[in-house]
Amino acid sequence: MTGQTEVIAFAAGALIAVVTAPVGVSGAVFLLPVQLSLLGVPSPAVTPTNLLFNVVAGPGALVRHHRQGDLGGPLTRLLIAGTLPGVVAGAAIRVFAVPGPTVFRILVGLLLLPLGLWLCARTLRPPRHPTGRPSTRFITALALAVGTVGGIYGIGGGSILGPVLAGRGMPVAQVAPAALASTFLTSTVGAATYALLSLTADGAIAPDWPLGLTCGLGGLVGGYLGARLQPRLPETALRLTLGLLATALAALYLVQTIA
């Protein structure tokens, strides 16, 4: 990499993570267009490179949450139990079936756009009768589906898990650490799976190690700062941020399919 590329990669990772970490989103979904458009990472190598970013960046926020006593608990275990097998299946699908990114962007955009707007509306005008906690079966099934999608497209899953669980009435302060822990472990397994598959398949499948590490180091710093900022933010601000991030990501993906 050139010096300019390193600066862009580090700065992008740091700026994205400091905004997204407080609401349990690693930021890889927002880093994806930066890697494709500015940094020129080929496909499908962009997927494991994004997962590598999560692996390197994740400990920054997780260490802070651990010090605050926010890690662990049944939600974290449920998300991990679903996303880990999902990401292995998703990686295999990405390498051997190679589904088109356009379909993925349309589906995620159509899912997150109404979800993000709905979450913002519910935050500004809370319902009189709050929604109860989602069932264990629902959380596990959601985590499995999100893990599979994450393995295919290189996202940790927090950008989907967060809005859905928060929209079902769970506090963002509870969802964020669990989603980040799930994202870290899922991305670790996913990146390792891609590295192994690269030994048996042709093409650019292995991660772009220098770029993924550089982006991840930026995310490591930004994630720690973001997690440290979270307790200082009210629940309303966290839910609005999560809703706006979901809406922005949906708009970005839908615009990319039109362009």
Give the model's confidence band at 160: pLDDT under 50 very low, under 70 low, under 90 confident, else very high.
confident
Cα angle 256, 90, 86 (rounded to 5 degrees) comes to 120
Could you tell me the two tokens for 191? Answer: 């990146």
Distances (CA, A) of 30 to 88, 130, 151: 22, 31, 16
Q: What is the pLDDT of residues 92-139, one digit of tens each?
A: 777 676 555 677 678 778 878 888 898 888 888 877 666 667 889 999
Q: What pTM does this model have?
A: 0.80
Q: What is the pLDDT of residues 38-82, one digit of tens each?
A: 777 776 677 788 888 989 999 989 988 888 877 778 899 999 999
Q: How many domains does the chain have?
A: 1
Could you tell me the two tokens for 117? Answer: 């707007």
Dump strand ranges (E) for the chain: none
User: Whole domain around residue 143: which residue ranges?
Assistant: 3-258
- DSSP symbol at 200: T
Asked whether 146 and 157 are in contact (CB, 8 A), the reply is yes
Burial label for 140, CB within 10 Å (0-12, 13-18, 19+), is middle
What is the C-alpha separation between 50 and 103, in angstroms, rounded? 19
